[in-house]
Structure 1
Amino acid sequence: MIIFRTRKKVQMDDLNDENLQKKPVVVLTRLPEFTLNALQPPTPQQFDSEAESHGSSDSDMLWEPGDDSGDSDFGAKKKTQHKHNNSKHKKPNEVTVPTPLGSIINNSTGNNSLSNSSVCNNDGNTTNKAAEISPIIVSAAFASHSNETRNVRPDLPEPEIKLDMVVLARRRVMRWQRGKIVEIINKDDGRVKYKVIFDEKGKSLVSGHHIAKETTPKLDQLYVGARVLIQSPEDEQCFLPGLLSELPSRKNRLRFLVFLDDHTPVYVSLPSLYLVCRQMDDPLGDLPESPHKCFMAQYLRSWPYPHLTHYKEGQILKIELNGVHQKCHVELVDCSLMKVVFEENGETDWIHRGSLRLEHMSKFLELKQNRGSKADDSDSK
């Protein structure tokens, strides 16, 4: 009996010993490389200068051409990264491009679509082709506030047009000038025409959608797709017609983007805009049949998720000039626009990052349209 009690006491003393009690231990385990790559945030070149992150509400659709090697380690890592990001940050209204589209575009661009990875030349040395990589094409929400994405004509009374009013009226397709209304003519079919005498001699009979007030419009009168004028930078007596394509937001540094009727994009401030008095039901109704009209139709359909290519300064690309795609490099990126320098003659040009003049963008939209046509054909069968 005594022996039993002694043994029990020894066992209890052992259990109370601090050296035998359990203590928490932290064990660090190195994750595999592919897991680290998948968890890394997107690289800066995937977004424009004003975008904050892939997980922000501005991001909607991201597409990047696959690399030519197809099954290289680098290509596999990028696919894994995009898969993680899309599943983690996908929004209810998010639009994604199926993977086959990326491979189709990659095959169609051939040697023009280069991967970010280095390639080896014949003598075994590694040559970096980063300057000629294919761009990322993203369809991102332009802004989250309705006042920045408004593309419907506000329900406001039309401006009054009366006799002796000084206006800006169309004299030729790409030349509007200042003049005065001297007569208002009511046609038998209900149309109204205005006789304008221009300051620089000459007169013209125009309709209300070929007249703009000389005063600065109010912000609540403007919307994406509105017909507007800007003063020509080369001739202060000439005003150029175009379509309003962006309203002020943090993404464009509080400026208006206007696509002129000759496809020239330009950022302007509110005092530089003049609003056409009578807006047409079809905002493209005053544009002649041309590639620019096709581009603007696609642009307005996709708004506020316009397709944009993402280039870096110094990157090499091909842009259509005089009917031929010519090599140039990016000199400056300014929000939705970029300034390029053509290698052949050193000329500079400002171009929209979604323009059909861009070789990659034209191929992307062409293949997207072909995929849509095939889908419609399959549904009709």
Structure 2
Amino acid sequence: MEVDEMETRILELHSVERAESDEERGDGGESMSASPWKSVPSTNETPRKKNSSDSLRALKEAVVVLTRLPEYKISALRPPTPEQFYSEDESLSSSDSDMESEPEVSEPAAVIISSAFAHCSEEITKVRPDLPDEDVKVDMMVLARRRHMRWQRGKMVEIITREDGRLKYKVSFKEKGKSLVSGHHIAFDTTPRLEQLYVGARVVVKCNDRKFRSAILAELPSRKNRLRFLVFLDDHVPVYVGLPLLHLVCRPLEDVSESIPDGPHKCFMRRYLKDWPCPHLIHYTAGQTLNVELNGVQQKCEVQVVDSSLIQVVFQNNQHKEWIHRGSIRLEHMARFLELQAAHEDDSD
């Protein structure tokens, strides 16, 4: 029986019993429906016929719980619906979820969710499509890296073949100067086609400040992320973007993480791509407080907005706001989870 039908049946049973109780007491006693605590029906109980007083009593005792429960625990008892599954506050009852609660944390407890991100292979693929490489030609406009996290538009002026067979590309920038770069440091100036994109693709993104920054594609559009692309910039900043803001790197490295400077973000991206399409995410709700690393120190902040795989937090000491991925290593809950996971793996060896 569905939960909504069970709740309706319970209300009917309470109404019958309350009428009988009022007649017996004659004092219009307070009914259970006036209680501020929400009744949580058991989805395992099989209902019986209304005309049995023993059945009424057994059903009431099986379904009424006089315990204050957090909202996320109540929702976990309900069967998932499409609306719940694709909401911002991800349903904890998804059959694709494997949940672990971290011990000894403030209420509501952090829940680590490892769930398949999408339902069809086109939305979760991390395999590079078997498509021919697009040509890189002299006189074509490209985006080229000038230094870390700084890419600029320029014109291809020469393609040089080294003695070992490697190709180098000389780019003349619109903002003066020339650079000789490798194929994984140039990107097409055109918008890519959807069939060219996959999780793990090396891209360059046009940001709000109109500057171009290198990134790795982390999510393809799906109902779960409101048909957007998620990218991680090389400084660990996550951003949801539309297709027109993306540019494919011309000749990416086989191991895309090798394009990222050594550091925590490089380790994060390697683990993220390894876990995909079941990345570890933490369930948060708006108004919840947590600790997030900022400038090397864990600081208290509050969740303001939950947007698919991201949360917007405001730090309490300086009101600084930023978007954080729900699987980021900057989250204290995730850092502790990974430590416990690593310790468990060491014990298993």
TM-score normalised by structure 1 residue count: 0.71
Aligned to 1:159: 134
Asked if the contact 1:51/1:251 (under 8 Å) is kept, the reply is no
Instruction: Name the counterpart of 2:15.
Output: none
Residues 51, 334 of structure 1: alpha-carbon distance in 2 compared, 3 angstrom cutoff: closer
Identify the residue that residue 345 of structure 2 maps to in structure 1. Answer: 372
Could you tell me how far apart the structure 2 residues matched to 1:40 and 1:342 are? 29
Cα distance change on mapping 1:30 and 1:261 into 2, 3 Å:
same
CA contact (8 A) 2:184 2:251 kept: yes
Q: Is the 8 A contact 2:89 2:285 kept in 1?
A: no
Identity of aligned residues (%): 56
Give 2:297's aligned residue. 324
What is the 5 A alignment of 1:194-213?
Answer: 194-213=169-188
Deviation for aligned residue 1:212: 0.7
Q: State yes or no: 1:268 paired with 2:268.
A: no
- Counterparts of 2:186 and 2:278 in 1: how far apart (Å)? 31
The separation in 2 between residues aligned to 1:296 and 1:242, in whole angstroms, is: 11
SS of residue matched to 2:76: coil
- Whether the aligned pair in 2 keeps the contact of 1:339 and 1:351 (CA below 8 Å) is yes
Matched, 1:228 2:262: no
Amino acid at match of 2:233: L
Partner Cα distance (1:193, 1:32) in 2: 76
Q: Give the corresponding residue for 1:253.
A: 226
| Counterpart in the other structure of 2:330 | 357
Kindly indicate whether residue 124 of structure 2 is the aligned counterpart of residue 172 of structure 1.
no
Residues 315, 329 of structure 1: 8 Å contact kept: yes
Q: Deviations over 1:70-125 (max 9, x none)?
A: xxxxxxxxxxxxxxxxxxxxxxxxxxxxxxxxxxxx2xxx5xx12x4xxxxxxxxx
- Report the alpha carbon displacement of residue 60 of structure 1 after superposing the two structures with TM: 2.3
1:63 matches 2:105: no
Match of 1:8 in 2: none
Are the structure 2 counterparts of residues 354 and 43 from structure 1 closer, same or farther at C-alpha, using a change threshold of 3 Å? farther
String of CA shifts for 1:268-297, please: whole Å, max 9, x gaps.
001111010112110101111100011111
**Larger CA Rg, structure 1 vs 2:** 1
| In the alignment, structure 1 residue 138 sits paired with structure 2 residue 113 | yes
Q: For 1:49, which of 87, 92, 99 is the aligned residue?
A: 87
Does 2:115 align with 1:147?
no
Greater length-normalized contact order (CA 8 Å, ≥ 6 residues apart): 1
Q: Give the conservation status (yes or no) of the 8 Å contact 1:50–1:250.
A: no
Q: Go from structure 1 to structure 2 and tell me whether the alpha carbon gap of 1:51 and 1:317 turns closer, same or farther (over 3 Å shift).
A: closer
Q: CA deviation at 1:35?
A: 6.4
Residue identity matched to 1:311: Y
CA distance in 1, matches of 2:132, 2:336: 43
Unpaired runs of at least 5, structure 1:
1-23, 66-105, 117-132, 377-381
* Change in CA separation of 1:371 and 1:34 when aligned onto 2, cut-off 3 Å: farther
| Change over 3 Å in CA distance of 1:34–1:304 after alignment to 2 | farther
- Contact kept, 8 Å, 2:89 with 2:283, in 1: the verdict is no
Contact 1:193 1:207 in 2 (8 A): yes
What does residue 320 of structure 2 align with? 347
Give how far 1:349 is off.
0.9
**Distance (Å, rounded) in 2 between the aligned partners of 1:166 and 1:247:** 26
CA RMSD of aligned residues (A): 2.3
Deviations 1:132-163 (A, max 9, x none): x3321111110010010010000000110010
Unaligned runs of 5+ in 2: 1-49, 79-83
Task: Provide the TM-score with structure 2 as the length reference.
Answer: 0.77
* Secondary structure, counterpart of 1:200 in structure 2: coil
Alpha-carbon distance in 2 for matches of 1:317, 1:51: 16
Taking a change above 3 Å as real, the CA distance of residues 54 and 341 of structure 1, as seen in their structure-2 partners, is closer
The reply on whether 1:284 has 2:228 as its aligned counterpart is: no
Contact 1:187–1:193 (8 Å) recurs in 2: yes
Aligned to 1:120: none
